[in-house]
Amino acid sequence: MVTSRLGARSLSARMARWGIAIVAFYGLIALFTPLLVHGSLLPDPNAGLENPIYAPPSFGHWCGTDRLGRDVCVRTLAGSSVALQVVLSALVLALVIGVPLGMVSGYLGGGVDRVLVLVMDTLYTLPVLLLSVVLAFLLGRGLPNAAAALCVVYVPQYFRVVRNQSAQVKAELFIEAARSLGAGPAWILRRYLFRNVITSVPVLLTLNAADAVLVLGGLGFLGLGLPETIPEWGSDLQQALTALPTGIWWTALFPGLAMFVLVLGLSFLGEGLEHWLSGAPAGSDG
């Protein structure tokens, strides 16, 4: 069993490297696609009326065109910037709400804590997609709306982790010492609890980002989330579904592949981070 740990370590390290590379690649695409479109080096993802519709991949259009003659490659590239924007803003929002709420709830304890835990546990029990579908349905389509719908889904996750950890940390001696020296709750929360608790967030954030990309795609696929004018992988796939029985594969292949690889990259990064941060002790997942 001694030799074998090397295998897991190196796989984790390799996964983390691949994860970073993939995510950075998508970040660059997200950054440069709008610029290239703006500078007319790439066609507009929504323009296509002069193109043939449902043209298979060719030199003119590497990934073919869709039912409106729009270039599938450009739409797929533009989709990455949209996905990253929505997912990032949703998770930042979830962090900003979930972490302080969890810290206060865990530190203060008592009745408020119990009620908050019950509410968050209930939200957490609900299937992520179901909850976000309901929220997206209610909030309507739009970038901030989709981000808000996603955010609510992930708040309970940060709340749970941070709350449990601060409930644990608050019993530690150094907190006791700070309190006896006259530090108030706000000071303790900011100064001592926050630093101890925040370490568990990066892994969760990366893994949630992977999940959120899938959920956003799911929403788009169900006709929710973003407005139709914004190129998004999920809604493009929904449109590809109707053409699928006639054997038109290119509109389905590229957006889905882009989504798959991004989720894979984020998952690799998250898992690699987890092993790296935990020092991969014996008995952990290899």
Instruction: Based on the shown chain and the rule CB under 8 A, indicate whether residue 22 belongs to the binding site for other proteins.
Output: no
The DSSP code for 228 is T
Q: Which residues contact 99 (CB under 8 A, 6 or more apart)?
A: 158, 162, 197, 198, 201
Rounded CA separation 185/189 (Å): 6
Contact track, other proteins, 235-264, x by CB under 8 A? --x--xx--xxxx-x--xx-xxx-xx--xx
Instruction: Based on the shown chain and the rule CB under 8 A, indicate whether residue 229 belongs to the binding site for other proteins.
Output: no
DSSP-assigned states of every residue in 164-190: HHHHHHTTSHHHHHHHHTT--HHHHII
Instruction: Based on the shown chain and the rule CB under 8 A, indicate whether residue 280 belongs to the binding site for other proteins.
Output: no
Of residues 6 and 186, the one with the C-beta less far from other proteins: 6
Number of shown-chain residues binding other proteins (CB under 8 A): 60
Contact track, other proteins, 189-228, x by CB under 8 A? ---------------------x---x--xx--xxxx----
Q: Is 242 left (phi over 0), alpha (psi -120 to 50) or beta?
A: alpha
Among 33, 104, 267, 274, binds other proteins (CB under 8 A): 267
Question: Given the structure tokens 């323009």, which residue do they identify?
Answer: 47
Q: Identify the burial level of 130 via C-beta atoms within 10 angstroms of its C-beta, where 0-12 means exposed, 13-18 middle and 19 or more buried.
A: exposed
Binding-site ranges for other proteins (CB under 8 A)? 1, 4-5, 7-8, 11, 15, 118-119, 121-123, 125-130, 133-135, 137-140, 210, 214, 217-218, 221-224, 233-234, 237, 240-241, 244-247, 249, 252-253, 255-257, 259-260, 263-264, 267-268, 271, 282-286
